[in-house]
Structure 1
Amino acid sequence: MTNAFLIIDAQVDFCHPEGALFVPGANEDIDRIARLIHQYAHQIDHIVVTLDTHQLLDIAHPQFWQNAEGKHPDLFTVISAEDVKNGLWIPRFSADKARQYIQALETDGQFQHVIWPEHCLIGSSGAALHDTLLAALKNWAHLRDQDYRAVQKGLYPLTEHFGVFQAQVPDPAVPETQFNVALASDLDRFDTIYIMGEAKSHCVANSLKQLLDFAPAMSEKLVLVTDCMSDVTGMGYLADPIYADAWTKNVRFAEAADIFV
């Protein structure tokens, strides 16, 4: 049996208490993930880490928007299609595409558009892997004589890109926002795919949903390592339908202590 780890967005801005968008519990999640890699290095055949990576002028950052007085929205402001239509919040860049995006996101019905702190800016220390995880990955790579794979997501600034495999609202003209067939195929080479990382409520949940939607035959290979992921505070309910659906599709749920016993 072959095993792959998919470690989602285990970056400083999410996983360090001083990170720009710290997810409570994420630092302990990272410790557990690192212990798994150290302890079971010879049973882990492939590791993919994803890196949430943004421009400063991202549609989910305050600087992208302003009101009639020129004020940027506060952090965690929810911007609706009605707000944009009525001029309550005005996109400062690519206005037509921004309006279309907000409407499409709302029509999809899963997530509203939230303004986040500037996070995981390209080239910043916050976009780097957490040091504890990086040390474990380097140790694994030395032991196995193979590199871990790093996959960036989120650089296209006109859509959220929670899920690893596809943007929330794909743009037909932007290939990086489309479903990442190559990444799914890479993981599908393995008998079991362990999924972990941050945040359970957003990027982990959406990555799972995208796999189940676009590659449903992979469902029985998937294991959610439940104590190696945490929710954005107060937002866990957003992903409940995704995990409930996954359960009906034979996705397995396990804690770190149980996955290699």
Structure 2
Amino acid sequence: MKKQNALLIIDAQYDFCNPAGALYVPNAENDIQRLSDFITTNATQLDHICVTLDTHPVNDISHPSFWRDATGDEPNPFTQITLKEVEDGKWTPNFYPKETKEYLKNLEAQGEFPHFIWTTHCLIGSKGAALDETLSKALEKWIKINKENNQYKQYQAVTKGTYPLTEHFGIFQAQIPVKDRPETQLNQSLLDSLNEYENVYLAGQAKSHCVATSLKQIMDYAPKLAKKIIVLEDCMSDIPNLGHLGEPIYQKAKELGVKFVKSDDVQL
């Protein structure tokens, strides 16, 4: 099989891409339509597609059920929780208090993303964790078109976020890797497999968080791969009011020469 063009799709799932999803990213359904059109238009020239799947247990450190305030109430989605607030008793973890405090300490020292509580989303095995239907159909069509050309292709699915005691935005590594938990540590094999391709197109949700962090991890851990990245900038959107969190990453990427293109400008 040729190893010319790969496509890495970050977290294009029901809960992010459908207006009825638990953590819907506004405009994501339009991003998905453009991405699906890109796949179909360039079907025979896309040699590999990798989709990532954000996947969480209910009692995840970023979900309301993990926490309570002084009156026993859960935090509202989009609440920011700091280590000082935990130490002062404003917020109390319902589980693993020692590990949670250590996590917040390390996260704040890292200085990249504050700890946010999200709407409970992408639960393991749920409808919300499934691939967006429009994208799923486009992937099936991509496989069928290539079959008709006597080419066997199948998309790769990679999960993240299953360990409940660390946020896991980027596909390649959790925000704070946990000792003895391989699923949180650097996925070098995925970096290596993508690096086998000449061009790696990048798209998905949300631009401000999971796409941005995945791109940063590529720049940090696989600089040779970073030079091959082509960001489909009209196939991703920010979580409202939080776009500023990812913007420094994209600015750095542009300074390093990462390409940014519109999906309909690409004819492979």
1:167-197 per-residue CA deviation (whole Å, 9 max, x = no partner) reads: 0000122111111011111111100000000
> Residues 227-246 of structure 1 correspond to what in structure 2 (within 5 A)?
227-246=234-253
2:26 maps to 1:19: no
| 1:65 alignment partner, one of 64, 67, 70 | 67
**Corresponding residue SS for 1:213:** helix
Q: Distance in 1 between matches of 2:247 and 2:154?
A: 34
Q: Which amino acid in structure 2 is aligned with residue 137 of structure 1?
A: L
8 A Cα contact 2:47 2:153, kept in partner: no
Partner of residue 35, structure 1: 37
Contact 2:122 2:128 in 1 (8 A): yes
User: Which blocks of at least 5 consecutive residues in structure 2 are unaligned?
Assistant: 147-151
Structure-1 separation of matches of 2:93 and 2:103: 11
| Structure 2 CA distance for aligned equivalents of residues 233 and 187 of structure 1 | 30
Which residue number corresponds to residue 150 of structure 1? 157
Q: 2:178 aligned with 1:171, yes or no?
A: yes
Equivalent residue for 1:56, pick from 34, 53, 58: 58
Query: How far apart, in 1, do the equivalents of 2:255 and 2:186 lie?
Result: 23
Amino acid at match of 1:19: G
Shift of 1:260: 2.1
Q: 2:255 aligns with which of 223, 229, 248?
A: 248
Moved beyond 3 Å, runs of 4+: none
Asked if structure 1 preserves the Cα contact closer than 8 Å seen for 2:194 and 2:225, the reply is: no
Give the match for residue 212 of structure 2. 205
- RMSD over aligned CA atoms reads 1.0
Aligned partner of 1:123 among 125, 130, 133: 125
Amino acid at match of 1:198: Q
Partner amino acid for 1:140?
A: W
Work out the CA distance in 2 between the residues paired with 1:156 and 1:143: 37
SS of residue matched to 1:78: coil
Corresponding residue of 1:93: 95
Q: CA deviation at 1:218?
A: 1.4
Measured against aligned partners, the alpha-carbon deviations of 1:192-239 in whole angstroms (never above 9, x if no partner) come to: 000000000000000000010011121210011000000000111111
- TM-score with structure 2 setting the length: 0.96
Residue 241 of structure 1, CA deviation: 0.8
* 1:29-74 Cα distance to aligned partner (Å, 9 max, x none): 0001111111110010000000000000000000000112211111
Report deviation, 1:142: 2.3
User: How do residues 128-139 of structure 1 correspond to structure 2 at under 5 angstroms?
Assistant: 128-139=130-141
CA distance in 2 between partners of 1:106 and 1:259 (Å): 40
Name the CA distance, whole Å, in 2 between partners of 1:232 and 1:128. 19
Residue aligning to 2:149: none
Does structure 1 residue 185 correspond to structure 2 residue 187?
no
TM (normalized to structure 1)? Answer: 0.98
Give the Cα separation in 2 of the matches to 1:57 and 1:249.
Answer: 39
CA distance in 1, matches of 2:175, 2:88: 24
What displacement does 1:160 show? 0.5
Return the alpha-carbon distance in structure 1 between the equivalents of residues 58 and 65 of structure 2.
8
Aligned mates of 2:108, 2:226 — CA distance in 1: 27
Q: CA deviation at 1:143?
A: 2.6
